[in-house]
A = this chain, B = another copy of it.
Amino acid sequence: MARRSDHTRDELVAITIDAAWKIVGEDGFAAATARRVAKEIGYAPGTIYNLFGSMDDLYLLVSARTLDTLHEAIAVPDCPGGGGKPADKMKAMAKRYRDFAGEHKNHWIMLFVHNLPDGKAVPTWFGDKVERIFQPLEELLEPFFLPLDQRRRRMAARVLWGSVHGLCFLEATGKIPKVTGNMSSADLVDNLIDTFVAGLERTGI
């Protein structure tokens, strides 16, 4: 039996999230079972339920870490010189997103594969973390909208992010048939951004 003075409760929570994060990264979301996580931290399965209440709550915390890491990867400071067209900055941001999805594929896919059971609602603190993902792009979209037209800018950020996500997801899960030879998801995303931004410019401020 693990001794109760081995770790404080908070330490144990952190250790467990670490373990689950590691298992997901190595063997995928489906491998992060209660028994597997318990074995990894050297405790019994029941302990996880003392700590989190359910596996779903643990999964939510793992996904929270994914969102934090993703946000960190995306929201690098604007290029120092300030040069470069907005579209290029967006493509660079999308590339960082794609790179993240590639490097943390299992964590990233888990964001969309894990769903709470019907009754359970996503807690607001989690929704806030999702919301935060859109902010860096919103800032890049500033030049295309009047200062007071926040609504359209927020909309554009969501449309663009949702679209980039859709393309990456279809590719990562193999749901989209390989297009004619040389056409990667990178090409698709760049094409989306170029065309969308051109549309923004044409539509006018």
Q: Which residues of A contact B (CB under 8 A)?
A: 111-113, 115, 122, 127-128, 130-131, 151, 154-156, 158-159, 162-167, 169-170, 173-177, 179-180, 183, 187-188, 191-192, 194-203
The interface centre, meaning the residue of A112, A166, A174, A175 with most chain B CB atoms within 10 A of its CB, is A166
3 shortest A-B CB distances, which residue pairs?
A166-B166, A163-B163, A199-B199
Copy count, this protein chain:
2
- Given the known inter-chain contacts A131-B177, A166-B162, A177-B130, please indicate yes or no for A156 contacting B115, CB distance below 8 A: no
Tell me whether B169 and A169 are in contact (CB under 8 A): yes
Q: Give the CA-CA distance A179 to B158 in the complex, in Å.
A: 9
Q: Give the CA-CA distance A45 to B162 in the complex, in Å.
A: 40
Identify 16 residue pairs between A and B in the complex whose beta-carbon atoms are under 8 Å apart, listed by A's number: A112-B112, A122-B174, A127-B177, A130-B176, A131-B177, A151-B180, A154-B179, A155-B179, A156-B195, A163-B192, A165-B170, A194-B199, A195-B196, A198-B199, A199-B202, A202-B202
